[in-house]
Amino acid sequence: MSIPQSGGGPIERHSQLAEYLESGCKPPEQWRIGTEHEKFGYCRDTLNPIPYAGDRSVLAVLEGLRDVHGWAPLEEGGKLIGLEKDGANVSLEPGGQLELSGAPLENIHQTCDEVNDHLADVKDIADKVGVDFIGLGAAPIWTHDQMPQMPKGRYKLMTDYMDRVGTMGKDMMYRTCTVQVNLDFGSEADMVQKLRVALALQPVATALFANSPFFDGKPTGYKSWRSRIWRDLDADRTGMLPFVFEDGFGFEAWVEYALDVPMYFVYRDGVYVDALGQSFRDFLRGELPALPGEKPTLSDWADHLTTIFPEARIKKYMEMRGADGGPWRRLCALPAFWVGLMYDQGALDAAWDLARDWDAETRDALRVAAARDGLQAEAGGVRMQDLARAALDIAEAGLKARARTGAGGLLRDETHFLDTLRESVESGRVPADELLEKYHGEWGGDLSRIYAEHSY
């Protein structure tokens, strides 16, 4: 979840809304990679989720990162709720999941180093306070009632709203984790092509990274239960967005879509003002019931854009949102996959060729099937394993064309970060398959063994 946005003045013209998005356009030499990942913390002896405060808590981890590893604190209402350093942020998800929002970096070598350094620092502090962290798409055993609530006003409002608009919103907030990558675009036309590829091929990422076959202590019948949860969260702000594939789509069409998404809040003077279900269009007219007579700023618009949750979305950059949280190798593999597809024009064109003839029903059916069956999914005559292999070949070619080698004399390019995905495509097995095999085999149905064997 995002932190409050800042730096925007008053909105005086409707055109400013699209101009805000367009201001993110950058020439290719300035394109960067931002990797985000979430993970569950738990008490080492009890295997229960860690609370916000106490000797063994997410607060203790934040304080350790601040005091030992030099992160600067971010507070809300006098409580420590995040950290920042060198362009990166550490923040808290609603149920205490710890998230790294990485700095914008030039290549996958750097972003993988950042991930590894972060996990090492977190483990250093976690070992001192008796907690561990695990990367999974969904909490395998914990119930909703076991999950703590973080002291963030945004989350309190969202929690109160979720049951009004869907059946699984609180499950998403408190008991799921994801890994995503944020990428740049060069122009409106480039954004359009990238967003269409991102949405159409997001089911491939869901399948390759499927790592949440358990929920409430038992198998769910899905390889990515996290992805399944997103289908019953809030239809107004989720999904595969068929309008993106229509002629004439661009920044203005995204603005019109975003304006129709009901609001959550307005952030004022450190407080989240309840605007649940209200209209940003009314806000533009000075008619928002939550703040009568007040008009929005660009910071309010930026905040509103963070409350839209489709499978891929744009702000001043583009976010790929379809993958489960997972083991460290896949935390490096996700940005490699999407950078390979997106940051070389030949690869981007080839990726679009894979999907350009699909209709909305096929795209949505692939999303549903990927969550259920992983690489064994099939929809609309498309076999996921074949599609994933083709996408991976394109991503590898795109990374080769980038030819970004590592620092310190490391001559390998970025393609080796795809190795774990190549293994999955060739075997047809994703992390969820391995977890299910252990559960039904050597674990003998004892799901508690997942913690010792799959924590960072």
pLDDT digits (tens, 9 = 90+) for 161-218: 999 999 999 999 999 999 999 999 999 999 999 999 999 999 999 999 999 999 999 9
How much is the pLDDT for 4?
65
Residue 51 in domain: yes
How many Cβ atoms are within 10 Å of 76's Cβ, its own excluded?
19
Say how far apart CA 348 and CA 189 lie, in whole Å.
12
Which residue range forms the structural domain that includes residue 210?
15-454
Residue 4 in domain: no
Are 22 and 190 a contacting pair, CB within 8 Å?
no
Backbone angles phi, psi at 68, to 5 degrees: -95, -35
- The CATH number linked to 344 is 3.30.590.20
Residue 8 in domain: no
Paired strand residues for 40: 134
In this model, does residue 370 exceed pLDDT 80?
Answer: yes
Residue 29 in domain: yes
How much is the pLDDT for 8?
75
Paired strand residues for 181: 35, 320
Tokens 């695990």 belong to which residue? Answer: 134
In this model, does residue 6 exceed pLDDT 70?
Answer: no
**pLDDT digit string, tens, across residues 124-145:** 999 999 999 999 999 999 999 9
Q: How far is CA 373 from CA 192, 199, 200, 383, 438, in A?
A: 29, 19, 17, 11, 17
Are 398 and 346 a contacting pair, CB within 8 Å?
yes
**pLDDT digit string, tens, across residues 391-418:** 999 999 999 999 999 876 567 999 999 9
Residue 360 in domain: yes
Give the type of residue at 169. G
Residue 73 in domain: yes
Are 199 and 320 a contacting pair, CB within 8 Å?
no
List, in sequence order, the alpha helices (H) in 80-165: 108-129, 153-165
Say how far apart CA 82 and CA 448 lie, in whole Å.
29
How much is the pLDDT for 411?
74
Q: With H, G, I as helix, E, B as strand and everything else as coil, classify residue 43.
A: strand
Domain count, the chain: 1
Residue 272 in domain: yes
In percent, the amount of the chain with pLDDT more than 70 equals 98
Residue 160 in domain: yes
**pLDDT digit string, tens, across residues 305-334:** 999 999 999 999 999 999 999 998 899 999
**pLDDT digit string, tens, across residues 93-112:** 999 999 999 999 999 999 99
